[in-house]
């Protein structure tokens, strides 16, 4: 990508999907084929994802949310069970636990890593605990050795919310190439997209069969005209149109992630140790950098003021994420303010700054200059 050409007066969003002409042509080919629902392109995408993840079985679906819910069901998790999960994530992480009838048991996260505090995970285990659902926040891998040591010691399942982490690497191994059940997202704001979609990596033959049943009405066929419904499944199958987009994206994933790392390196280089915002944990080359989420100094400026000031300079800002346990649905389960101070502070202070592969290094410089001027101006 050429960093010398850019339009200084254009609006810079905090994210933007990157779809090339080859992928657009592939979608047109699918549309002309007459096979739009799950078909050969879905099978091809699952095969290529499996190859990317070291040969592990992969099943696609309409979203990571659907994938996590089906993974919980495949593990037999339901009423009366507890699943330990971080208080900081997109709310889907907790919603799927509630939807299968289990109870989310929240624990706090690291202030800079945003990843689950594994000390608190171990302390939260009870006789009702059936699984741990960690989140690789922003693509920074959780400590996988310790996570799986805890799970193994207590005979717990691990359902990894890897919605942010396609292409992330833990000590030379790609997230999803090992472990228990690992769920990815291909939403338009993720590192690769299928428009909407996701995939599960891993699982025993029995669990894969369960996932297949849950994503297609619980139905099985026999002969040319026989059907049976084995369970009350949903409808979460990916379309061939979506898979065609995913195939084009997967070929570019490593380049996308390398670009994200280069852009983040520029953020850190420009701000150094004197950043006016608290920067997230940098991690290493295994970090895939789905989002870049520093914390605002709220004593200087409110978040709405900062967002509006950045917007006035032509720069978009997102919020990833409010603390889950403070939402009404989870307060109704007995959670309250003050239980998870790091998640609550991050939820109050976090801002998501622009980060996507089509950005130029000068765009990072523009964001840094604007954010620095706004915060310093507010202080004076």
Domain membership flag for residue 16: no
CATH number of the domain bearing residue 171: 3.40.640.10
Residues 239 and 313 in one domain: no
Residues 209 and 280 in one domain: no
Domain membership flag for residue 330: yes
Q: Is 273 a catalytic residue?
A: no
- Give the end of a domain, one of 250, 275, 296: 250
pLDDT value at residue 8: 45
- Give the end of a domain, one of 189, 217, 250: 250
Q: How far apart are alpha carbons 290 and 137 in whole angstroms?
A: 8
Tokens 């914390």 -> residue: 295
Which residues lie closer than 8 Å to 209 by C-beta, 6 or more apart? none
pLDDT value at residue 273: 84
Name the CA dihedral angle for 341, 162, 125, 340, rounded to a multiple of 10 degrees. Answer: 10
Question: pLDDT digits over 221-257, tens only?
Answer: 999 999 999 999 999 999 999 999 999 999 999 999 9
- Give the end of a domain, one of 195, 229, 250: 250
Residues 170 and 317 in one domain: no
Q: The domain containing residue 325 runs over which residues?
A: 253-379
Element (H, E) at 368: helix 361-379
pLDDT value at residue 6: 43
pLDDT value at residue 379: 74
Residues 181 and 302 in one domain: no
Domain total of the chain: 2
pLDDT value at residue 2: 43
Residues 190 and 281 in one domain: no
Domain membership flag for residue 217: yes
Q: Please give the structure tokens belonging to residue 246.
A: 């995913």
Which residues lie closer than 8 Å to 10 by C-beta, 6 or more apart? 314
Rounded to 5°, angle at Cα 214 from 209 and 217: 115
Domain membership flag for residue 267: yes
Residues 206 and 322 in one domain: no
Residues 284 and 152 in one domain: no
Residues 166 and 313 in one domain: no
Render each residue's pLDDT in the chain as its tens digit; 380 residues. 444 334 445 999 999 999 999 999 999 999 999 999 999 999 999 999 999 999 999 999 999 999 999 999 999 999 999 999 999 999 999 999 999 999 999 999 999 999 999 999 999 999 999 999 999 999 999 999 999 999 999 999 999 999 999 999 999 999 999 999 999 999 999 999 999 999 999 999 999 999 999 999 999 999 999 999 999 999 999 999 999 999 999 999 999 999 999 999 999 999 988 899 999 999 999 999 999 999 999 999 999 999 999 999 999 999 999 999 999 999 999 999 999 999 999 999 999 999 999 999 999 999 999 999 999 988 76
Domain membership flag for residue 1: no
Residues 239 and 273 in one domain: no
pLDDT value at residue 9: 54
Q: Please give the structure tokens belonging to residue 298.
A: 């709220």
Domain membership flag for residue 7: no
Domain membership flag for residue 347: yes
CATH number of the domain bearing residue 348: 3.90.1150.10
* pTM of this structure: 0.95
The DSSP result for 235-294, as a single string, is B-PPPHHHHHHHHHHHTTHHHHHHHHHHHHHHHHHHHGGG-SSBPPP---TT---S-B--
Question: pLDDT digits over 136-193, tens only?
Answer: 999 999 999 999 999 999 999 999 999 999 999 999 999 999 999 999 999 999 999 9
| Active-site position among 153, 190, 209, 299 | 190
Domain membership flag for residue 108: yes
Residues 146 and 290 in one domain: no
Residues 337 and 193 in one domain: no
Residues 57 and 172 in one domain: yes
Question: pLDDT digits over 21-30, tens only?
Answer: 999 999 999 9
């Amino acid at each position: 990508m050429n960093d010398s050409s850019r339009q200084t007066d254009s609006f810079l969003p905090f994210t933007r999907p990157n779809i090339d002409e080859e992928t657009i042509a592939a979608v047109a080919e699918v549309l002309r084929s007459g096979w739009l629902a799950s078909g050969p392109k879905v099978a091809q995408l699952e095969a290529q994802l499996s190859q990317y993840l070291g040969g592990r079985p992969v099943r696609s679906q309409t979203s990571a949310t659907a994938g996590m819910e089906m993974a919980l069901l495949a593990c037999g998790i339901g009423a009366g069970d507890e699943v330990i999960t971080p208080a900081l994530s997109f709310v889907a992480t907790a919603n799927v636990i509630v939807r299968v009838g289990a109870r989310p048991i929240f624990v706090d996260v690291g202030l800079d890593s945003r990843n689950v505090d594994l000390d608190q995970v171990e302390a939260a285990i009870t006789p009702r605990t059936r699984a741990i659902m960690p989140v690789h926040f922003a693509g920074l891998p959780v400590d996988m050795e310790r996570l799986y040591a805890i799970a193994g010691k207590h005979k717990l399942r691990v359902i990894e919310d890897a919605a942010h982490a396609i292409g992330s690497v833990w000590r030379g191994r790609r997230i999803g190439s090992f472990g228990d059940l690992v769920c990815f997202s291909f939403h338009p704001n993720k590192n690769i997209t299928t428009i909407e979609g996701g995939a599960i990596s891993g699982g025993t033959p029995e669990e894969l069969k369960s996932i297949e049943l849950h994503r297609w009405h619980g139905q099985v066929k026999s002969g040319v005209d026989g059907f049976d419904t084995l369970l009350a499944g949903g409808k979460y199958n990916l379309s061939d149109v979506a898979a065609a987009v995913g195939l084009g994206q997967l070929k570019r994933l490593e380049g996308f992630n390398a670009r994200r790392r280069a852009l983040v390196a520029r953020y850190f280089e420009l701000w150094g140790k004197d950043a006016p915002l608290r920067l997230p944990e940098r991690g290493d080359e295994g970090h895939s950098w789905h989002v870049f989420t520093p914390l605002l100094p709220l004593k200087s400026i409110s978040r709405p003021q900062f967002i509006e000031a950045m917007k006035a300079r032509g720069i978009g800002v997102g919020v990833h994420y409010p603390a889950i346990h403070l939402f009404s649905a989870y307060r109704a389960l007995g959670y309250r303010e003050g239980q998870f101070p790091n998640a609550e502070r991050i939820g109050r202070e976090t801002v998501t700054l622009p980060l996507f592969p089509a950005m130029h290094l000068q765009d990072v410089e523009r964001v840094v200059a604007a954010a620095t001027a706004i915060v310093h101006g507010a202080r004076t």
